[in-house]
Amino acid sequence: MKRALITGIKGFTGRYVADELTAGGWEVWGLGTCAATDDARYRQADLADRDRLGGIVAEVRPDAVVHLAGIAFPGHREADTFYTVNLIGTRNLLAALAASGHRPECVLLASSANVYGNSTAEVLDESSPPNPANDYAVSKLAMEYMARLWGDRLPIVIARPFNYTGVGQADNFLLPKIVSHFRRRAAFIELGNLDVWRDFSDVRAVARAYRRLLEVRPAGETVNVCSGTVHSLREVLEIATRLSGHTLRVDVNPAFVRSNEVKTLRGDASRLRRLIGDWETPALEDTLRWMLEHA
């Protein structure tokens, strides 16, 4: 049984990746900032604590690493935190892995499709030039460039997931916020720009893609994880209305409209499928139905 270490295992994505790897026969260990639990394979640590990271990596000796820990919400108020966690924290992890004396077979770093920014391309593949439009995206792109410095010492794979969602995602993310309002049959909802288009995947499909990338170990590759289909927020509202049978009033709050908002993000998953084989994500309507039916 191979051993995987997941950073950010207690977060939204981490829980699904842990379940996916466990079902695939992996021995799963986790690292996070949450208080220690009774899970014998969980270790509490901050990415800023290099000594603690080094000790955990030396103890676990992982065959694979999925690095999910980081600031994932682009609207996070403290810009400095994007860089201290997403960039410096990742560097501390890579340094600990390289110094451990046990070389993993694959180190998967979760970046973001936000690095493409407001691209003029209709469909974005991995050769599309980065054009980050906010501090979150800049921190993720900087992380990618920094990771290249470790490519001769660690088998690094960079995943660029486009938007994805599912049961358990925090309500400060857009789709869970919308679903929450429809589930409790609220009279109205305040949103920002409705005319943005996003490529949405289901978190369960993203977890499967990550597992398969660990198994095929395409070191040195950067890989989009996306559906290839875009929906506007207006469409999301229409789908939720139809599924729930509830209609609510939508108020556009200028405070929620970001000047650096990326207007359209649509990905090309050809490289992902070439590497891992057939892979699909459920239709957005199916994912929203799942979210509406589960508290």
- Domains of the chain from N-terminus onward: 3-166+202-228+267-281 (3.40.50.720)
State the amino acid at position 189 in one-letter form. I
The residue ranges of the chain whose pLDDT is under 70 are 73-77, 295
In the prediction, which pLDDT does 257 show? 81
- What is d(CA 43, CA 36) in angstroms, rounded to the nearest whole number? 7
In the prediction, which pLDDT does 240 show? 98
For the beta carbon of residue 36, count every other beta carbon within 10 angstroms: 10
- Cα 131 to Cα 70, 113, 122, 158, 238: the distances in Å are 21, 10, 14, 17, 31
Q: What pTM does this model have?
A: 0.95
- What is d(CA 214, CA 4) in angstroms, rounded to the nearest whole number? 9
Contacts of 37 (CB under 8 A, 6+ apart): none
- What is d(CA 147, CA 62) in angstroms, rounded to the nearest whole number? 18
- What is d(CA 68, CA 21) in angstroms, rounded to the nearest whole number? 14
pLDDT digits (tens, 9 = 90+) for 94-126: 999 999 999 999 999 999 999 999 877 889 999
